[in-house]
Amino acid sequence: MTTDIPKHLQELLINVGLKIAKRGEGALFVVGEAKYKTLVSQSVKSFNVLKNPKLLESLALMDGAVIISKKGKMIAYGAMIKSTRTLKNFGTRHSAALSASENGNLAVVVSEEDKKVRIIKDGKMVMQVDALQKNVEQEVSNAVNLLESVGAGTVGALGTSLLVPGLGITLLPGIVVFGSAYYLTKVLAGWWNKGR
């Protein structure tokens, strides 16, 4: 999704988000520097979220966002992010994610209403993962690989079961990637012409 945020951190946040979504709860993770105010006393010391995903999941269930450095260190939890923009047809958590995702940050928002995990980068939704899709966790790594190899914001809205072996791109049901359909058309046309 972004080259300065490690792939394993992106995957961890999506997978923790899927666990939370399956229970019908919501959460917000922000990776990077964001303006926030804490809603709760910060009694949990900073830790590497990659080494303790269960604690990360527990902190994410509190009101507010969990702020994480690009190296995977938890900076704050129960953080209120001021929304400067709104995401039409979505609630306050999504608007906070949209605002927090600017300036190179990554936001992973978990919707309790529709049980979907949405990844927002540079003020745009780039991916949506349906927590209710069977075995979707097994495809998270492939989706992150796709966004890293082709680039977030360059992949068109993909339907289900797209397989492009020449590029190593595989998306299965439950994962939708958003972006520029023009670039995706060029990539697929190049792949198609090579194969003929």
pLDDT digit string (tens) for the chain, length 196 residues: 445 889 999 999 999 999 999 999 999 999 999 999 999 999 999 999 999 999 999 999 999 999 999 999 999 999 999 888 877 778 889 899 999 998 889 999 999 999 999 999 888 888 888 899 888 888 888 778 766 655 544 443 333 334 343 333 334 456 666 654 444 544 455 555 555 4
Q: Is residue 191 part of a domain?
A: yes
Which is nearest to 13 in space by CA: 102, 109, 93, 85? 109
Which is nearest to 105 in space by CA: 142, 155, 149, 67? 67
Number of domains composing the chain: 1
Tell me what pLDDT residue 106 has: 93
Q: Is residue 2 part of a domain?
A: no
Q: Is residue 1 part of a domain?
A: no
Tell me what pLDDT residue 149 has: 59
Q: Is residue 172 part of a domain?
A: yes
Q: What is the pTM of this model?
A: 0.80
Q: Which residue has the tokens 């972006």?
A: 179
* Helix extents (H) in the chain: 7-22, 53-60, 92-100, 140-150, 181-195
Q: From CA 162, how far away is CA 114, in angstroms rounded?
A: 23
Kindly state the DSSP code that residue 85 receives in the 8-state scheme.
S
Whether 21 and 117 have beta carbons less than 8 Å apart is answered as: yes
Q: From CA 31, how far away is CA 73, in angstroms rounded?
A: 9
Tell me what pLDDT residue 108 has: 96
Q: Is residue 52 part of a domain?
A: yes
- Rg for the chain, CA atoms, rounded: 17
CATH number of the domain where residue 50 is located:
3.40.1700.10
Kindly report the CA angle at 158 between 101 and 14, in degrees rounded to 5?
45
State CA 35 to chain mean position distance.
19
User: Which residues span the domain enclosing 151?
Assistant: 7-195
Q: Is residue 36 part of a domain?
A: yes
Tell me what pLDDT residue 177 has: 65
- Which CA distances in Å does 45 have to 9, 70, 73, 77, 115? 19, 17, 10, 10, 30
Tell me what pLDDT residue 105 has: 93
